[in-house]
Structure 1
Amino acid sequence: MTDDYLDRVGTLIRDARRQRKLTQSELAESLQTSQSAVARIEQGKQNLSLEMVARIGEALDTEVVQVATNTPLNLRIKGGHKLSGEIDVRTSKNAAVACLCASLLNKGKTTLRNLARIEEVNRITEVLNSIGVKTRWLPDSSDLEITPPARLDLDAMDEAAAQRTRTILMFLGPLLHEFDDFKLPNAGGCDLGARTVEPHMHALSAFGLQVEASHGYYVATVNREVAAGATIILTERGDTVTENALFAAARFDGTTTIRNASPNYMVQDLCFFLEKLGVRIDGIGTTTLIVHGRPHIDQDVEYHPSEDPIEAMSLLAAAVVTTSEITIKRVPIEFMEIELTLLASMGMKYDLSPEYTSANGRTRLADLRTIPGPLVAPKDKIHPMPFPGLNIDNLPFFAAIAAVAEGQTMIHDWVYENRAIYLTELTPLGAKVHLMDPHRVLIEGPTRWRAAEVMCPPALRPSMVVLLAMLAAPGESVLRNVYVINRGYEDIYTRLNALGADIQSFRDI
């Protein structure tokens, strides 16, 4: 087995063990081996015979060999239970993605601390490994060490992994510093409609990059005669567009001003990371960023991405729909203030701890205790706006919240032309969701939830919304093919089970 394959199998074994609520020592005892051997297996540091894989599968009541194939993973949820206890918010998926891509700017070793171990990160590391970058998870941690080669080998790129994530678009900015011409597979990821790449092309053209789409690839050429010191006006205040512009500006010899930049959480994290690399950035947290580039970056650096406000919102919505009191720790409060203000207007009560600082030394955190109580529909429609407005990725969770509120709630998802449609998947679970058009749904509450079997929508946040509704629905529900949830959430089923949920994974034979 390859190291990468062993690492993935080890992660699957670890997750299955946790789901069965076994310690490493308990699993070791059933396998008649040592706890240290189980630890090495879960870290991908020990070769496995088929016999050992079979024994592990029997001990965990899981077909580990089958888990390592493309057989879809499903969930069986026994809903209607109250949640209780404390849960930490894990570090940000989108910050992890940005920092992984930014590591391509550095000729030295990058260590990302406490990184989210999710499928999206796995896909990116697979791509990085295939082009010559060495990545390894440090022992007994979620710290990822990234060591670049002397020269990237783009011809060896794992295109299957690249095509499963839209993140591949974010390679454009770093790679324009390394190659005069190159190609990347067309981007994938969530099915959210026709998300144009034109804003990326417009931003990067200021750095001499020209891209054409041809036969499933983005074919890029770089004009090195473009002068430094550009002022870029982004045509879209998008997160990934801003990040691509930052990648390009970070190693451009001169000062670049980026206007209409996103000041969202993952962009701020990227800026903090780039500062660790020695790139000076003025205006972090605003819509105008001034980047003082460094043409050559070669230094060993470590960075702690901050906590994920979207996961925080997911956990908050779980408490609301199950009318539960839980404490959500390490909430990045700066990026939740609009959401909490809106919830308060709907009647929600909660307690906040004094603020403290994330491990990156910059992001404000607080602990939030939910207080169950009746909610009423908001007087106005709920819609997202660029930060500091309501986060676009948090909007879908208001569908589940609106379903338990008294009255009618209009949700307007103006950014994506078909994500609102996926919210109608709440209907089999008893919610009254009326699709007004591809952007708007009208939800009537309160809902009498009922168990159902639903195919997971092909978009991350609506999929999580369906799972949360199933937690509230009495009886046994089934959510099929949950890969998309695993793209963005680490060990979420085990963590919800620790709060009192009853979620079990299974695969069809």
Structure 2
Amino acid sequence: MRIEGAVLTKYVIHGGKPLYGDIEISGAKNAAVAIIPAALLVDGVCRIENIPQISDVTLILKILQELGADVRTVDRTTVDIDCTRVRNARVPDVMARKIRASYYFIGALLGRFGAAQVPPPGGCHLGARPIDQHIKGFVAMGADVDVRGGYINASAKDGRLQGAQVYLDIVSVGATMNIMLAAALADGMTVIENAAKEPHIVDLANFLNSMGADIMGAGTDVIKIRGVERLGGGVYSIIPDQIEAGTYMAAVAAAGGEVRIRNVIPKHLDCITAKLEEMGVEITEGDDSVLVRRDPARRLSRTNIKTLPYPGFPTDMQPQIAVALCLAEGTSVITEGVWDSRYRYVDEIHRLGAQIQVDGKVAVIEGVDRLTGAPVQACDLRAGAAMVIAGLAAHGTTEVDQIQYIERGYEDIVRKLSGLGADIRVVVTPEEEKAQASVG
């Protein structure tokens, strides 16, 4: 349900129909929300292509504009960003609190100005997500960091960060990327040990290098950043979204059908592909596509999954694959190895007839013959995607509320699924009618 003035918006899905056709994957959300703040480090105009049309990206671009950047839309997926005139290192409070990725402005502003004032990040509620490893990196590079007045305040002691050795106590994607941003213009060499290896980390490194940075080792557990005097302008295209692609793969697994998923890097999908194949889904890789098939007349097979940092199975795919496993034959076990509160969607999926028991970080799923449509709500981004998949696979009508979470990370999900033959539409209900209905 998205509140727009006096209206409430939800998805209505008439499920039980297999999916057939082609679908195009958008640019990677998790790369875009770091690469756009990285434009602060660039002296000149940088053109960023393959930007996804999602609310998180819209917010990040608005924050840049509030800081004084010149952001010009070239076409639907391309923007020109010029941060030459930015003089403000204080990020607006209201917008930053709506998005987790606002913390990337700390590293980018520290690198650019030697100072940053950024509110604590917002976004989905997935349990405790401290930024202590980010701060550890900034402090190692010579920054003073404290929290006062509702802001994270960071400043380099001599106006410029110094290269340093940083060992991350846990594998953290956000900390790895934020330290890379801070180190790009630092004085000397920064080495990040126990670094995360996700594709969007490599993408950020490639963006910075294309603008003149000197970063080696992205994609391994040791990243070396030799600080340079300046970054110049250039053109860069963001990689396809691994999780969006995986979500549609899981949708085909749950609902059945045959779909070619285009504009992907198949290597990035290996961990997802392997599990779906264990479940009996047929996947054929092309150069930049995957063909996903599942006979609607055949049930999926059970499997066990543990989420891990890349190249392990991604936590951002856990709710979606869980929905498919709800329809598998036998008992499946999921162990969540990253976030504390990934299972908030379980109460919602129970409404459709799923059999899931959660104990701490372990979920035991007893497969059922069918799911039945019911009203549900998205409690976070990936849980919302899982509710959509459940609605596609369920018999009857499913209404998905709180869709603003879904629109944080999925571009045109209704249009894309409709193109595969799904019966999904956006329904807008006047708020006063909703209120009267609840009273009646």
TM above 0.5, one fold?
A: yes
SS state of the match for residue 108, structure 1? strand
Contact 1:430–1:447 under 8 Å retained in 2: no
User: Whole-Å Cα distance in 2 between the matches of residues 225 and 219 of structure 1?
Assistant: 14
Partner residue in 2 for 1:252: 186
Contact 1:434–1:441 under 8 Å retained in 2: yes
Contact 2:106–2:117 under 8 Å retained in 1: no
Structure with bigger strand share is 2
Contact 1:78–1:476 under 8 Å retained in 2: yes
- Alignment partner of 1:314 out of 247, 252, 271: 247
Partner residue in 1 for 2:83: 148
CA positional deviation for 1:103 = 0.7
Partner residue in 2 for 1:413: 336
Task: State the number of aligned residues.
Answer: 427
User: Whole-Å Cα distance in 1 between the matches of residues 149 and 6 of structure 2?
Assistant: 26
User: Whole-Å Cα distance in 1 between the matches of residues 359 and 138 of structure 2?
Assistant: 37
Please provide the CA RMSD for this pair.
1.9
Contact 1:350–1:371 under 8 Å retained in 2: no
Matches within 5 A, 1:357-506: 365-372=288-295, 373-378=298-303, 381-437=304-360, 439-457=361-379, 459-506=380-427
User: Whole-Å Cα distance in 1 between the matches of residues 52 and 6 of structure 2?
Assistant: 22
Contact 2:119–2:152 under 8 Å retained in 1: yes
Check 1:133–1:81 CA distance in 2 against 1; reply closer, same or farther (3 A cut). Answer: same
- Alignment partner of 1:290 out of 200, 224, 230: 224
User: Whole-Å Cα distance in 2 between the matches of residues 75 and 414 of structure 1?
Assistant: 31
User: Whole-Å Cα distance in 1 between the matches of residues 4 and 357 of structure 2?
Assistant: 39
Partner residue in 2 for 1:345: 278
Check 1:181–1:98 CA distance in 2 against 1; reply closer, same or farther (3 A cut). Answer: closer
CA positional deviation for 1:345 = 2.1
Contact 2:377–2:384 under 8 Å retained in 1: no
1:389-420 deviation digits (Å, cap 9, x = unpaired): 11121222220121111111111113211111
User: Whole-Å Cα distance in 1 between the matches of residues 219 and 128 of structure 2?
Assistant: 28
CA positional deviation for 1:481 = 1.8
- Alignment partner of 2:269 out of 323, 327, 336: 336
Gaps of 5+ in 2: 431-440
Partner residue in 1 for 2:49: 113
Matches within 5 A, 1:263-282: 263-282=197-216
- TM-score, structure 2 normalization: 0.92
Contact 1:184–1:219 under 8 Å retained in 2: yes
Query: 128-137 or 421-430: which moved more?
Result: 421-430
Check 1:479–1:225 CA distance in 2 against 1; reply closer, same or farther (3 A cut). Answer: closer
User: Whole-Å Cα distance in 2 between the matches of residues 236 and 185 of structure 1?
Assistant: 23
Partner residue in 2 for 1:176: 110
Aligned pair 1:236/2:159, yes or no? Answer: no
User: Whole-Å Cα distance in 2 between the matches of residues 428 and 376 of structure 1?
Assistant: 23
User: Whole-Å Cα distance in 2 between the matches of residues 146 and 67 of structure 1?
Assistant: 30
Q: Which has the higher contact order (CA 8 A, sep 6+)?
A: 2
Contact 1:207–1:226 under 8 Å retained in 2: no
User: Whole-Å Cα distance in 1 between the matches of residues 81 and 420 of structure 2?
Assistant: 34
Contact 2:197–2:219 under 8 Å retained in 1: yes
Partner residue in 1 for 2:436: none
1:407-443 deviation digits (Å, cap 9, x = unpaired): 1111111321111132332110111111222x22211
User: Whole-Å Cα distance in 2 between the matches of residues 67 and 443 of structure 1?
Assistant: 34
1:161-192 deviation digits (Å, cap 9, x = unpaired): 11100111111111113445442112100111
CA positional deviation for 1:114 = 1.9
Aligned pair 1:69/2:2, yes or no? Answer: no
CA positional deviation for 1:95 = 0.9
User: Whole-Å Cα distance in 1 between the matches of residues 378 and 163 of structure 2?
Assistant: 47
SS state of the match for residue 317, structure 1? helix
Contact 2:160–2:186 under 8 Å retained in 1: no
Contact 1:431–1:447 under 8 Å retained in 2: no
User: Whole-Å Cα distance in 2 between the matches of residues 227 and 461 of structure 1?
Assistant: 36
SS state of the match for residue 482, structure 1? coil
